[in-house]
Amino acid sequence: MRSKSNLSRRALEYAGTAFFLILLSVPAAAQLAGASKDSKPSPRKEDEARELREKVKKQPGIYSAAGIRRAQNGKTVQPEMQFYGESERLSDILARGVPKLRPEDGMLQESQTEPLYELVEYPTRPRTEPMNSLLQTEAFAPFAPISGVSFEGPGAGLGGFSMTGAPPDTTLAVGPNHVIAWVNSQFVIFNKTGSVLAGPSNGNTLFTGLGNLCATTNRGDPILQYDRLADRWILSQFAFNVSGSNPAAPYLQCFAISTTNDPTGSYYRYTVTFSSTSPSGFNDYGKLGIWNDGYYTSYNMFGGTPAGSNTGVGLCVSDRTKMLAGDASATTLCAPITFYGGGASFIPADLEGATLPSDTTRGGIFIRQSTLPALRYVRLKPDFAAGTVTVNDGWGGATGSYVELSLPTTTRPCNGSGGTCVAQPGTTNTLDTLGDRMMYRLSFRNRGGVESMVINQSVDPDGAGSRSAAVRWYEIRNPLGNPSDADTSKRPFLYQNGTYDPGSAGNRWMASIASDKYGNLLMGYSMVNAATTTYPSVAITGRSQCDAINSMQAEQIAQAGSGSQTGTLTRWGDYTTIQVDPSDDLTFWYIGQYLSANGTFNWRTRIVSFRFPTTTANTNGDFNTAANWSNGVPSSSVSGIVPAGRTMTVNSATTVCNLDVQSGASLAMNADLTVEGALTLGTSVNTGSSTLTLGCEATVSGVSPSVYVRGSVAKQYCRTGGFDFPVGTASGYSPVNTNVTTLTTNPSTLSVTAVGNNRTGMDAAQSANRYWALALTGALTTNLVFNYLDSDVAGTESSYKLYRWNALTSTAVTPFTLNTAANTVSVTGITSFSDWTIGNLAPTAAEGGISGRVLTPEGAGLRNATVIITDPSGAQRTALTGAFGYFSIEGLATGVSYTVTVRSKTYQFVPRLIFLDDDIANLELIGQSPLRRQ
């Protein structure tokens, strides 16, 4: 039996599987513990708190738990939400100190996972064809990211941290100047070099003075975020009573939202209380995602009090706008939880970067994996005014409908069990994979029209059970698209995925993945290899936007472990976290777990940062001269940044991966430039007589009516799908939108140039003062949309037709769609490419005639001579002279040059070139020397 200082445990059956809860005592040396039930605040503070609670209860929008009990049979669940006002500055609370916490009010320790296998599969939607998953056993590229800082996070390696349980639930958030890490029951505020600014502090310190379980207990299971859109911090953990070492009602989720961007300042405090009765329950494993219209949270729900079996999943959203304002009427709304009874864990989408989603009207996203296998996600749309939510595919589907993306064959870790099988050096104790769920975070990013989500899970690497765990990662494109869109290129699809298993050795699990502003990915995870005595370690891999699709780079051990987790503790974390620094949108921060020696409750965490290499133009000059850049010339592995005030000139053909031409910069092209990854434009680029080529996987962001490309843009196509050519002229932006439906030759390259004048052969008074020159290398079929400007329009716009020109020959293209309101012309199924324009042809040339006399050298009329008139196409008209040499040819088109020759048996004649713009009369054709007879 273990000593009291270690742990005691009691088995609790959850969904038929043992779920052990271990209550750990808090060491006497614990610093800055939260207030206990036995430690009362001063009478004045108590009176103030009571007055505030009474005031808040009277506010509109505060609901009772009875509302939850009524919200069954598919109705919205509305848990009670209470506002507790603004706190003191956190720094003042920490300086003053708070009473210590009673041991029984601390963490309940989970020593074995609670599987959440799906008990019910709802009817499926039409599924996409499964995409082949790359089982990657070797690195396709060396590890490119550059290491930044590395320092100890909360854990045994950080002074002042109280070890209250295992395993660590490791999470962090990153702001402009701070990093906050919260592991289990304590958080620490760091600066970006790793210096501790505040903490380690108990999580319940944030709720000092509330008088409820958020203040008097410190249960952990934390999650926190930096809300970049609002420049605020949000920190959250759960709270509950205990009955017989089991969670018991009331079940609370505690939220603290900073009032400024200073994490040591004051916070607005809210609590959300979940009923113990169906369809609600104990809110375990909470995850938080930032979206434009709410704070979206997911929970694994366990019914009854004490908590019993898994009753489903809670999908909830809190009123972000009101919470940021400290509004007491803020509410939380949840989907009808019973609909997802028996469903596996969901993860909410979390907005990466500062660009809003393209669709801000259909609510947030929750994703999970189905046993089909498939990825399934739903949209939850709140109506806070009405107190209701809709949950479906986001496009009017029935309640509970979802977007489904088929996956390659998937076997959960440990030969399908998703449980405990990860071997370690020097011990028979194996570790838990948590392979029954997707892993936090679901990182969503909008890169100027290219929208994607990335997420991961643990899988069995060979599908046969001979190996334990590897990380499978996914990137979904067009995640906000209509899954039933008639234009299939606009539907959500699985863009790439892979199973990362370098060397076909060791185990990898407990991962977190995110993307930077260029689309580069970084993934942190745990790695161990018992065969090579590689202890559980913090590992990193990633992929550049220009790497081979479905692949990750070589593995990097960011923090080597030197011990195994021994005894009978099998749990190895519930989640880890990776975030992207808002200061540059390029630096990744990751927190993971390791041990410095064998043990059970001696875990440590490590905080590390990495970024993919970049180089910045530091002077004006030749793009290809290394001295003009801070880190050498941009290349396939180094991203280039041209900052404001810099002018770079491309003097020889160049290929780069990512290129960022920022506002106030200039890029002059005297030679061709190819971008294989992300092109970011903050200012317009003029290609001159050169061509800007975008590779198969290239993306373009930053384009607007004032920022675009003047000149020739080429795009390589390696798959079907859409691309918008960001072209324009001196008079404005006039892009061409393509959607390739058939790719006959792979790859094929289509180039587009916008020309800012009327096309020859068109009626300038009745046509657009613009046309587009298209050229194709390869073979493909595409739909085209030409965008023109109001200022381009001449004459009657509604009468415009679409023409394709080949030299002097025009072809009217039908059918086409003219949208005069949107200034677009659309056409489908195009396979031939040349000049395209809209409007009406120039009027048919007027007819004229040529008449005159054929004369001898002496000036006498020449009878029976043949006059031949030839047009530019080679067509001929002839006339025979009369008795006095006269001839006449009518019906000739004007505006054309003709060659006039004379055939005679007596004299030679020099051909004449005549331009006919009106009738020509009295033309004299005089013979030369007589022909010599043979």
Residue 562 CA to residue 834 CA, distance in Å, equals 65
**Residue ranges with strand state E in 386-543:** 388-392, 403-406, 420-424, 427-432, 439-447, 450-459, 470-477, 493-500, 507-515, 521-529, 534-543
pLDDT band at residue 483 under the 50/70/90 scheme: very high
> Averaging pLDDT over each range in 53-57, 258-262, 309-313, which range is the top one?
258-262
Three-state SS at 584: coil
Three-state SS at 205: helix
Residue 717 CA to residue 745 CA, distance in Å, equals 9
pLDDT reported for residue 138: 80
Could you tell me which residues come within 8 angstroms of residue 191 by beta carbon, excluding any fewer than 6 positions away? 177, 178, 179, 197
**Residue ranges with strand state E in 175-266:** 178-183, 186-191, 196-202, 223-227, 232-243, 246-258
Residue 931 CA to residue 926 CA, distance in Å, equals 14
* Helices (H), ranges, 180-335: 213-216, 320-325
pLDDT in tens, 815-848: 999 999 999 999 999 999 999 999 998 876 678 8
In angstroms, how far is CA 327 from the centroid of its own chain? 32
CA atoms within 13 A on the CB side of 63: 23
917's tokens: 């713009």
pLDDT in tens, 311-326: 888 999 999 999 999 9
Residue-averaged pLDDT of the chain:
87
Identify the structural domains of the chain with CATH numbers, from first to last: 35-125+136-611 (no CATH), 614-839 (no CATH), 847-926 (2.60.40.10)
Are residues 732 and 707 in contact, defined by beta-carbon separation less than 8 angstroms? no
What does the radius of gyration of the chain's CA atoms come to, in whole angstroms? 36
pLDDT band at residue 885 under the 50/70/90 scheme: very high
pLDDT (mean) for 53-57: 37
CA atoms within 13 A on the CB side of 932: 1
The single-letter code of the amino acid at 468 is S
What single-letter DSSP state applies at residue 567?
A: T
pLDDT (mean) for 78-97: 95
pLDDT in tens, 781-807: 999 999 999 999 999 999 999 999 988
pLDDT reported for residue 883: 86
Residue 207 CA to residue 187 CA, distance in Å, equals 13
